[in-house]
Amino acid sequence: MKLGEKLAFVVASILFAIFLTNVILGAARFGVVLSDVGEMLALFGACIFFVIAVLGLERRQRESGRTISNQGGDT
């Protein structure tokens, strides 16, 4: 895994952790840190960075010459 994919996974994890922490604090009635828009942006950012990382991994796998089966396994 290259640095770009690792960085994208780390950013996605951090943004999702921020979202999850905010939801847990709100459910426990400790107050919320982010507004509704902030929650949406954190979750959207986590999704975007996760997609970037997965697409980067798929691109590198395709460039290495291995084919990807339709069922998700290596062929």
Query: For the segment 11-52, what is each residue's pLDDT rounded down to a tens digit?
Result: 999 999 999 999 999 999 888 888 999 999 999 999 999 999
DSSP for the chain, please give it. Answer: --HHHHHHHHHHHHHHHHHHHHHHHHHTTS--SS-HHHHHHHHHHHHHHHHHHHHHHHHHHHHTT--B-TTSSB-
Which pLDDT belongs to residue 65?
78
Domain count, the chain: 1
User: Is pLDDT above 90 for 71?
Assistant: no
48, part of any domain? yes
Which pLDDT belongs to residue 70?
67
Which pLDDT belongs to residue 32?
82
User: pTM for the whole thing?
Assistant: 0.79
30, part of any domain? yes
Which pLDDT belongs to residue 38?
94
Owning domain of residue 48: 3-61
70, part of any domain? no
66, part of any domain? no
